[in-house]
Each structure stands twice: as structure tokens, then as C-alpha cells.
Structure 1
Amino acid sequence: MQEIEKYGICQVRLPLPFRLNHVNCYAIKGRAGWWLVDSGLNDEPTRRTWLDFMREYQIRGRDIKGIYLTHYHPDHYGAAGWLQQLSGAPVYISATDAGAADLYWRHGEETFKAVYSLFTENGMPAELTEAVVESALRLLSRVRPHPEEISTLAAGEVQLGDYIYQVLATPGHSDGHLCFYQQDNHILFSGDHLLPQITSNISLWPFADPNPLKNFLQSLAENHRLPDCLVLPAHGNSFTGVQQRVSQLEAHHRERLELMRRVASPGATAYDVCRQVFKEELSLHEIRFAMAETLAHLVFLVERGELKKRYGGGVNIYFG
């Protein structure tokens, strides 16, 4: 990552207890101190990695001037409250994702009851749904303490280190996902919006936008206006060729939509479709995202008129 050090940027790779075993956060040094992009889960391995990094670079808590979050998912939001306690720095996130964090992480015990209903009404067996929801609730301890105060961000400009970055709204992976783009040096902090090897999970959740895939594809279409830049993602290695990657992601979702349309056309629940599309052995954590991603594609197809949906026998049936 030597190419970013001249801009004051350090990558801080934090461990995750999942098959996707890391999240890249970033620390940006400026004349006035340090700024952070994303925080990791709040668990002992994450805290140790942050403290080791701060010790190596001789960063005191008060040197941290701002904590900027690309979105509310736990591997990005989780340690923000701990880092705020350590530093006193403000935490910034989009207003939409601040609301989602409150709903899912402060009131998760109630909110995940709606996830249970969503999954069972779309064909997932109740026993499996209970296990999936219980595994999600175990994440609540890793997103606490919450930031005492959150400052909300909208499209505009922010200072990270000694440079001004544009705040880009990129809804899809989450409703309020943000990227940060430095137009003079052509650097993009892409969060989970653009990843080099895997595709961003696009999921339908209760109390969120009813067509997240539509939003994601619109965000990708707008990304075609970006010049080539160095993309610093939340997972995987940095990369260039942003237009090529955007086109690959668009093609992936076209193929996935066509596959799900074919599978669902004779008549199927979302869980039926999920089992046929995601055939590999999945953990409970992964089943949750596979089911929610299947739903996101199916509702997109329904809105586009390529599938229909009817409710009967306690479940939704999708058909052509």
C-alpha cells in the first residue's frame, strides 16, 4: 500500500470471525491529526489491532479528529462507539444509516422479529429462521457501546487528512451507503459498494427501501461518470479499472436476475429459489444474507413485471 502513503493513508486490516475474514479500515494522517474511515467490530481482536496501530504510529486518542463510517453494518459501525470513547472524536454517517443503526443495533431484539416474519413468510422453515435470527442477535454485543453522539453526512465535501473528499451517496448495499472520493488524486474509499473480487451483498430487509437492487444498479450507473481511480475497498486489495469493475458488477446482476427468474417462473418461494441459487454449504450468517439477497432480486423482477407474486397458505409464491 505504499502508493497511498504519500497521501497520508494507512490501511488497517481488522480480523472478522466469518468466512470473509477481514475488513479494511483506513487511517488518514493530516497536519492537524488523524481521521478514520470505518471501525470494525467491537471485539477484542479489533480493539487490539487498533491499539497496536496507534502505538506503532504514536497516535494518542485526542489526535483522532473524526470517525467516518461508510455504512451501518456491524463490521463498519461496530467499534465506532469504543473509538469515540477513546478519542472524543465525532462519528459521521449518513442520516439514513444512522436510523438503520438505531433500529437494528439499539433495538435489535424487536427489529429482528420482523426479519423472522419476512423469512418465514417467504418459505424459510421456522426452525432454521429461529437459528438464523439468533445468530444475528449475537452480533449485538459487538456493536456496543454505541456512539454517544452521531453527526449525519449528506452529499457534499469533507476533509480527511489534508485533502478534501467528495461524499458520494451510493445506496444499494445499504440504503445510506457513502463513498469518499478525492478528485485531485483520484482516490476512492469505496466501503462495500465496489469490491475487487466479490460482489456486494444486496439485501431486502424490513423497514428499509423496498427495492434495494434498483438503487444499487442506479448507483453503479452513476459510477460510470467516475474517472479511473485507485479504489480502496473494505474487503480485498486496492484496485484500478473502476469502469471495468462497474460493468462486471452490472453483468453479474443481469445474470443473477435471469437465473432467479427461470428458477421462480414455474412457482416457488424465495427460500426455494435461494436453495437452488446458493448451493454451497452456508453458515447461519451466510444463509441470512443469501435469503435477503434472493428477496432483493425477486422484488426487483416483480416490479419490472417479469415475475408475479401471490400470497397463499402462509407464504409468498413467485411465478412467471
Structure 2
Amino acid sequence: MDGFQTKTPKRPRLDYPHGDARPALAETIQVSPGIEWVSMPLPFSLKFINLWLIDDGDGWTIVDTGMPLKETRDAWKQLLDARVTPDKPLKRVMVTHMHPDHVGCAGWLCYKYGAELWMSRLEYITCRMLVSDTGREAPKAGIAFYRRAGWDDAQIENYKERFGGFGRGVSQMPDAFERLSDGDMFRMAGQGWEVITGNGHSPEHSCLYCPELNVLISGDQLLPRISSNVSVHPTEPNANPLLDWMTSCERLLERLPADVLVLPAHNEPFRGAHERLGHLIDGHETALSRLKGRMQKGPLTVMDTFTSLFGRAIQPDEVGMATGEAIAHLNCMIHRGEVTSAVGEDGIARYRLI
């Protein structure tokens, strides 16, 4: 669900204090007082996810969890067995957002170690909703959504076969959670932390900021080398997540110092948050401008936009993310009053400049 890169201007130069180092499985690198960097494997194009093990003095906190793979669970057991005791338990598992690489092991960790789950309300509810789709047939609304986007029969069949797969990447969720909301303050690693929420990549993504340590645990809201996928989904076909995403980037610009140490979910810890946030905003505005230029030659289907948006051929296993991101850009243009759409006799939507 992460890291689908739109064609953007050249990335700014960022500072990577740990270079290209990465913790080995079941080992850690200390990145700030009380904060250990953990790396777990992923079974798709992004090979690793960064997770954070935090010493709270009287206990331990985990931020994000990895997927419920055997090697991930074994690595967590090895890490925690060396640290967790009756006098210093795993107190809580904090989850930035509900994508399986972040929330996948959360339930398993909470049940095994008696920890509390902390995450935002919309992320928790959305996760439970998507897990409940396991075993269901693909809904007619979803099929119609992708038909309008121009998918062919083989792509629709693939969607039907894969529908409900979210739940297979998530261990059983706890039945209760502690809510994280924007502006909340809490103690962690002996310091005060603030929750800064973002939207667009997921419903109510939580970033965790510590002014005293000058550290931001950013999840997928701010990544140094890849841009997080911002998609429209069949459940809300007229949504405008790209506006939500860019507004979230602007919020982080306002609330973070330029030299904050960013601990992202993917790639390496870095400094240069303001440059990167500005680059992400500019990249999407550039993509919107390219689409407008292309539409001056005539109306476009969703599939027609891929070359302008991504600057390369889209692989078969990328079509779902590419479609969602393309519709996000098109819906943003509709909300700005620049574009209108109409469904033709073939059932496919075409977008044209107003």
C-alpha cells in the first residue's frame, strides 16, 4: 500500500545520519535516547519496514509492528524476550495507521504480552471493517468502480479473486483500544510527545513528535525517497484524498522544525523535513499540471493518465494502486472546478477540461 511513485521534480538533498545502515533481523540500532530502530521483512516490492522499540523506563512501547509472518514474530520474540520482564512489561503497541505492514502483528503482540493497543479511531474502525470483508464476494459497487476506470475482464477477475485479502495480513485485532487524536500529549522515552494526524494515504494517520528529542516518528506520512500512495477507493468513489494529503503536508510544515530527525516507516532516518514536504506538494501539483496539458488534446480515461502521472509503464500488479492514485488526481481537478467527467455507452468514464 506504500511507495507508488508519481513522476515528480528532482528530489532535494537530505541528510541521512545513519547512511544506508539498516538493523539486521532481531537486532536494533539506537537512533535517539530510548529509541531503537527495528527492521522487519516485507513480502512485496518494499522489502523492509522500519519499526520502533522504545524504552519507557517502567516498560516498553512498540510503534508499528510489521506483518504477521513467522520470521517477524520470531524476531519480535527474540527482541522482547531479551528485554521484557514482569517488572518491565510491554505496555503498549502504538500503530500509526491501519495498513497491514504497520498493524499486522499488533493484535498478536497485544494478546501475547498483555499490551494495550493505541491508534486513532478512524484507523482502528477502518481496519476492523476491512478485516470483516474476508471471505466475502467482491461487491457490485467495486466492480462498477473499476469498469468505469476502464479495466478489462481479466483485471476485473483478478480484483474479484483478490477481494477480501486484507484480513489475511492482519492478526486478530484487540477488541478495545486507546484513542490517539490530533494534538494529544503523552509521555514516552522519558519525554513529552505530541500526536500530529494526517490524511490522504490513510483515514487518520498518526505521526508522533517529541520536541525535546527533536524526533518525528512519521509512519508513511513522510518518507524520504518514495511517495506514499494516495488513492480513491470504491467505498468512496468521489473522495478527494489528494487535497487531504497536501493539506497534511502543509500542516507538518507548520508544526515541525526544519532540522527534526524523521524516523520513517520506509528508507532511512533523515533530516530535511521541510525540503521533502515541499517537494511532495510540488510533485503532485506538477502532476496535475501535466494532466491538464494532456487534456487539452482531448478527454482521457483513467488508464490514459498513467503515462503523464507516472512517466513509465505500469506493471500488472501495480494497476490497482495506479488506478486509485490516478482517480485521486482526477477527483482533485473535479473539486477544483477544472475538470468534468461523463460515462460513455461503453461504461467507461472520460474526463475533460471545463
Give TM-score scaled by structure 1 length.
0.91
- The amino acid of 2:122's aligned partner reads T
Aligned to 1:195: 223
Aligned to 1:157: 185
CA contact (8 A) 2:117 2:177 kept: yes
- Structure 1 residues without counterparts, runs of 5 or longer: none
Higher helix share: 1
Aligned to 2:315: 282
How much has 1:44 moved relative to structure 2? 1.4
1:94 aligned onto 2:120 = yes
Measure, in 1, the Cα distance between the counterparts of 2:333 and 2:206: 26
How much has 1:6 moved relative to structure 2? 4.5
| Structure 2 counterparts to residues 1-320 of structure 1, below 5 A | 4-55=30-81, 57-60=82-85, 63-110=89-136, 113=139, 114-135=141-162, 137-155=164-182, 156-208=184-236, 210-225=239-254, 226-227=256-257, 228-265=259-296, 266-274=298-306, 277-278=309-310, 279-284=312-317, 286-313=318-345, 314-320=347-353
How much has 1:150 moved relative to structure 2? 2.4
Secondary structure (helix, strand or coil) at the match of 2:270 reads: coil
How much has 1:5 moved relative to structure 2? 4.5
Q: Which structure would you say has the larger RCO, counting Cα contacts within 8 Å and 6 or more residues apart?
A: 2
Secondary structure (helix, strand or coil) at the match of 1:158 reads: strand
- Structure 2 residues without counterparts, runs of 5 or longer: 1-17, 19-27
- The amino acid of 2:167's aligned partner reads L
- Worse overlay, 147-156 or 102-111: 102-111
Number of residues paired by the alignment?
A: 318
CA contact (8 A) 1:67 1:89 kept: yes
Measure, in 1, the Cα distance between the counterparts of 2:53 and 2:219: 14
- Worse overlay, 201-210 or 250-259: 201-210
Q: Percent identity?
A: 29
Query: Residues 51 and 133 (structure 1 numbering): CA distance in 2 closer, same or farther, change over 3 Å?
Result: farther
Q: Deviations over 1:266-292 (max 9, x none)?
A: 1122122236644335252x3221111
CA contact (8 A) 1:33 1:161 kept: no
- Structure 1 segments of 4 or more deviating over 6 A? none
Q: Deviations over 1:77-106 (max 9, x none)?
A: 111111111111111111111221122122
CA contact (8 A) 2:29 2:38 kept: no
How much has 1:215 moved relative to structure 2? 0.6
CA contact (8 A) 2:290 2:308 kept: no
- The amino acid of 1:219's aligned partner reads S
What is the RMSD computed on CA atoms of the aligned residues? Answer: 2.3
CA contact (8 A) 2:29 2:36 kept: no
Measure, in 2, the Cα distance between the counterparts of 1:26 and 1:10: 6
